Structure 1
């Protein structure tokens, strides 16, 4: 039995999507970011800092996205979604796993400030402007990479691409995507994948975003 602890439209979607790409069925335990369930003692026994994803598999529990991706791909190498030691793309693969987390941390900051802080501690416009610019810089780097390839690695689709499942569907709430045509084409290729479509169907509706785009407020 594989159990994924999950919130729709969050980082845990990366793992849900990867499991679908690998043909691995999981029990999905859904949580809400607003109802206090992540702070409950029984969940913190699974994920010490009260965050998703957490994956129970092979008699162990893993609660960091990058570690889960590496574990799944290294314990199931026949599925070809990782790049194991000795593979010429190994370094690039690991770089993209780390890059996805760097990008996600910027998104997490924007989410926190736009969606969850509110009065009496509203986010500072200068901080929001800086974070949006940092996010745009990561998208620009991706756009350059994707100018001559369909996926992040030259050889084709990998688990590194699934690490973008959260990022690229949150980024358009904060950055206008018109300037990143290669990223937009990449998103369309992702959406066309059967495993992605199946994962999105399992994912459930997102509860975070109430507007189509979040501008930086006036100071």
Structure 2
């Protein structure tokens, strides 16, 4: 979401206030976040009386309202592909979320399930393989950079903690193009160093 707001231009919103939440703690449930997000999850936004959660919905709303050049309007030849990639990103992110729960949030004496982790990594790898096969240009759509690429930003940041991108040279180059965008770099600077993952790679646990 920060990347999208930077691409649009945060000055268009009169500035930006970031509210941080500690994932995996009671702080989220006790913070009032539930008023904005029925699932008590982030990201969520509040602006001009509007409250929204769900990444795909936020992206579609902000693009249609403030940056149509980042979307594909109804009737556009790339509209279906645009929507497909936006929602594919959420499917892929659900696999990463599952791995995060198993490998990052479980604390002793709980242990991740090797079988579940192995199957989920295999499914994540398959989604990356599918993207690798379809990525023929610089961006997901032939017409150029779009919000569909922004939706992939978190996924391609997080996926390498579970699947090595060396297996997918096109995706590795695609990720590098994302990271080279000025708005992406501004978003990373605004967010600061990640405090989520505690190691560079999480292998499938041994049985």
Same fold (TM over 0.5): yes
How many residues in Structure 1 have an aligned counterpart in Structure 2? 203
Please say if 1:84 is aligned against 2:70: no
Give structure 1 stretches of 5+ with no counterpart: 1-14
Q: Is the 8 A contact 2:24 2:105 kept in 1?
A: no
Query: What's the CA shift for 1:119?
Result: 3.0
Alignment match, 2:9:
23
Alignment match, 2:166:
178
What is the rounded CA distance, in whole Å, between the counterparts of 1:74 and 1:144 in structure 2? 29
Of the candidates 107, 111, 114, which is equivalent to residue 125 of structure 1? 114
What is the rounded CA distance, in whole Å, between the counterparts of 2:169 and 2:179 in structure 1? 15
Alignment match, 1:214:
202
Alignment match, 1:39:
29
Q: Is the 8 A contact 1:37 1:43 kept in 2?
A: no
Q: Is the 8 A contact 2:56 2:86 kept in 1?
A: yes
> What are the residue-to-residue correspondences of 1:107-118 with 2, within 5 Å?
107-118=96-107
Query: What's the CA shift for 1:34?
Result: 4.2
Alignment match, 2:144:
156
* Runs of 4 or more above 4 Å deviation: none
User: Normalising to structure 1: TM-score of the pair?
Assistant: 0.89
1:136-183 CA distance string (max 9 Å, x none): 11111111122x200011100000111111110110110011110000
Q: RMSD of aligned C-alpha atoms?
A: 1.3
Query: What's the CA shift for 1:31?
Result: 1.8
What is the rounded CA distance, in whole Å, between the counterparts of 2:167 and 2:104 in structure 1? 25
In terms of fraction of residues, the more helix-rich structure is: 2
Alignment match, 1:5:
none
Alignment match, 1:57:
47
What SS does the corresponding residue of 2:70 show, helix, strand or coil?
coil
User: Normalising to structure 2: TM-score of the pair?
Assistant: 0.93
Please say if 1:93 is aligned against 2:89: no
Query: What's the CA shift for 1:126?
Result: 1.1
What is the rounded CA distance, in whole Å, between the counterparts of 1:118 and 1:125 in structure 2? 15
What is the rounded CA distance, in whole Å, between the counterparts of 1:201 and 1:64 in structure 2? 23
What is the rounded CA distance, in whole Å, between the counterparts of 1:165 and 1:68 in structure 2? 15
Greater shift, 16-25 or 183-192, is seen at 16-25
What is the rounded CA distance, in whole Å, between the counterparts of 2:85 and 2:128 in structure 1? 13
Give structure 2 stretches of 5+ with no counterpart: none
